[in-house]
């Protein structure tokens, strides 16, 4: 039994939620290890659509125990709302089923205000953050002035700590950004109230998962965001402030590497990005409209967290190869293959051109994307494949598209999703 990790190979929104949902059926623990409520994981089960931002999406399976690891930044208001939302949809969440690391950090209204003020101050150079306070909370963590979840176990000191933290943030808001201050006393009271509700969920999740793995259980680590948003390995500075890549799971859960099993990479059949930053294979016009959808369906390309329309483009094989290498991916899942039906000729970026040179790999990685993508064109298919469940029944051109990805990246594609429902998946 092992630690299996699911990661996104692109800029997030690869459809990891549905792959987690599938693999969680065989997992005992489902754990988030990075980010916060900037993530958006959508899982559709029958009539019900679950949109989760913070709680691991695998908890939808009643036999699992959900873990929020030390690598996260947790907004307690969002956490409590999500617990209520899950209960309302019939998912029983209680302190025996959800464990929150004592060493995770808290997001406060101070972080939300700083996120907004800093984005505004960046002007044209803005990152396009989700405005969930993620960067400022990790900033305080790295600066060693953050508030850890364990502080909630001591209500009186906690109230003082929140008060002092908000007062400190107010200095920055007022003096650096000319922004309105927050009411420190009010926020301290609200957070003390949250502390009472969250305390029963707080645990040493590193020890919990370590013991579980020693006892032959399976832990599924759910990466949030994607490889190209990784603070170290993504398109810096247009990245998030955590490590969504597979090695982030060890640090973000407090586990060693000895239990590693599968590393499942999830890749959308095309490329999307929400927020600012380079996107060499971005496309516009009718192809983009078809890839994006209208927004009428929950699975159309509009941000789960922000509602922003996503930028869309052709699959980037160069960046995909890079992501497989950074994560040590052992198998690939391709999602949303059905969306390519009826597009006509398809393209995959197989190299980057600079003058006479074509690079198969980027010399300096994805921070240096000042090249022209070189494309390979592939035949498209017209058939609707949303009802297809077997590889043999896919149109030849759809099979070829997948086989080209396998050949270009030297990796097996073990699952292909052809629609948002749980069963709309082809296993190979
Ligand atoms: P932050 O994580 O809110 O600081 O945002 C930093 C960048 O990461 C922005 O471009 C966001 O749009 C992007 N981002 C953060 N979380 C997600 C996600 O779950 N999916 C896709 N993009 C994300």
Distance CA 78, CA 55 (A): 9
CA-closest candidate to residue 276, choices 306, 320, 235: 235
- Predicted model pTM: 0.96
Q: In whole angstroms, what is the distance from residue 192 CA to residue 316 CA? A: 47
Selection from 427, 253, 407, 409 nearest residue 330 by Cα:
409
CB 234 within 8 A of CB 70: no
**pLDDT for residue 205:** 98
Structure tokens at 78: 């969002």
Closest residue by Cα to atom 5, ligand 1, is 129
Bridge partners (DSSP) listed for residue 8: 266
Phi, psi of 191 (to 5 degrees): -70, -30
Can you tell me whether residue 314 is helix, strand or coil?
A: coil
With a 6 Å cutoff on the Cβ, whether 130 touches ligand 1 is yes
User: Is-contact 426 390, C-beta < 8 A?
Assistant: yes
Lowest mean pLDDT among 71-80, 113-122, 362-371: 362-371
Residues in the chain: 428
Residues β-bridged to residue 289: none
In sequence order, what are the beta bridge partners of 313? 271, 282
Task: Give domain 105-200's CATH architecture.
Answer: Orthogonal Bundle (1.10)
pLDDT tens for residues 266-319? 999 999 999 899 999 999 999 999 999 998 887 899 987 778 899 999 999 999
Cβ–ligand 1 contact at 37 (below 6 Å) = no
Distance 239 CA to ligand 1 centre (A): 7
| Atom 16 of ligand 1, residue of closest alpha carbon | 38
**Beta carbon of 109 within 6 Å of any ligand 1 atom:** no
Domain spanning 3-91+205-427, CATH class: alpha beta
Rg, the chain, Cα only:
22
Protein residue with its CA nearest to atom 12 in ligand 1: 275
Q: Which atom of ligand 1 is nearest to the CA of 242?
A: 2
Ligand 1 contact, 278 CB (< 6 A)? no
pLDDT digits (tens, 9 = 90+) for 108-162: 999 999 999 999 999 999 999 999 999 999 999 999 999 999 999 999 999 999 9
Residues 31/44, Cβ–Cβ less than 8 Å: no
CA of 306 to the centre of ligand 1 (A): 10
How far apart are the C-alpha atoms of 205 and 68, rounded to whole Å? 8
CA dihedral 145, 148, 154, 157 (to 10 degrees): 20
- Which residues lie across from 285 on neighbouring strands? none
Q: Per-residue pLDDT tens for 378-422? A: 999 999 999 999 999 999 999 999 999 999 999 999 999 999 888
Q: Residues with catalytic annotation?
A: 13, 41
For residue 378, give both structure tokens: 């592939």
Biggest CA pair distance of the chain: 67
12 within ligand 1 shell (Cβ under 6 A): yes
pLDDT for residue 367 is more than 90: no
Preceding amide of 383 cis, omega within 30: no
DSSP designation for 162? H
- Return the domain boundaries, the chain: 3-91+205-427, 105-200
Q: Is 240 in the pocket of ligand 1 (CB under 6 A)?
A: yes
Ligand 1 midpoint to CA 134 (Å): 9
């Amino acid at each position: 039994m092992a630690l299996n990790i699911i990661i996104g190979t692109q800029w997030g929104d690869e459809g990891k939620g549905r792959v987690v949902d599938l693999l969680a059926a065989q997992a005992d623990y489902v754990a988030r290890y990075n980010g916060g409520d900037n993530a958006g994981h959508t899982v559709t089960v029958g009539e019900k659509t679950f949109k989760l931002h913070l709680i691991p999406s695998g908890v939808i399976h009643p036999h699992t125990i959900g873990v929020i690891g030390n690598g996260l930044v947790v907004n307690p208001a969002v956490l409590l709302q999500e617990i209520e939302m899950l209960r309302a949809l019939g998912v029983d969440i209680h302190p025996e089923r959800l464990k929150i690391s004592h060493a995770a950090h808290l997001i406060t209204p101070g972080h939300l205000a700083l996120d907004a003020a800093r984005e505004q101050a960046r002007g044209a150079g803005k990152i396009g953050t989700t405005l969930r306070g993620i960067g400022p909370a990790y900033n305080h963590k790295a600066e060693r002035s953050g508030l850890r979840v364990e502080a909630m176990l001591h209500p009186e000191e906690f109230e003082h700590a929140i008060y002092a933290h908000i007062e400190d943030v107010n200095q920055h808001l007022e003096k650096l950004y000319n922004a309105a201050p927050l009411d420190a006393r009010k926020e301290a009271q609200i957070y003390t109230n949250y502390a009472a509700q969250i305390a029963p969920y707080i645990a040493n999740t590193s020890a919990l998962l370590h013991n579980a793995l020693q006892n032959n259980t399976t832990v599924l680590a759910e990466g949030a965001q994607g490889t190209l948003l990784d603070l170290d390995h993504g398109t810096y500075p247009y990245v998030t402030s955590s490590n969504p890549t597979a090695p982030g799971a060890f640090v973000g859960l407090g586990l060693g590497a000895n239990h590693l099993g599968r590393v499942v990479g999830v890749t959308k059949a095309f490329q999307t990005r929400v927020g600012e930053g380079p996107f060499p294979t971005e496309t516009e016009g009718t192809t983009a409209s078809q890839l994006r959808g209208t927004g009428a369906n929950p699975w159309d390309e509009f941000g789960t967290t922000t509602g922003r329309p996503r930028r869309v483009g052709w699959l980037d094989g160069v960046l995909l190869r890079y992501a497989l290498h950074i994560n040590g991916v052992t198998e690939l899942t391709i999602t949303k293959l059905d969306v390519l039906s009826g597009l006509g000729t398809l393209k995959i970026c197989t190299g980057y051109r600079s003058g006479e040179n074509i690079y198969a790999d980027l010399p300096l990685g994805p921070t240096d994307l000042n090249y022209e993508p070189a494309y390979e064109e592939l035949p498209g298919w017209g058939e609707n494949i949303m009802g297809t469940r077997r590889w043999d029944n896919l149109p030849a051109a759809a099979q070829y598209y997948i086989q080209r990805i396998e050949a270009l990246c030297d990796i097996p594609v073990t699952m292909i999703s052809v629609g948002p429902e749980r069963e709309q998946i082809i296993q190979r």
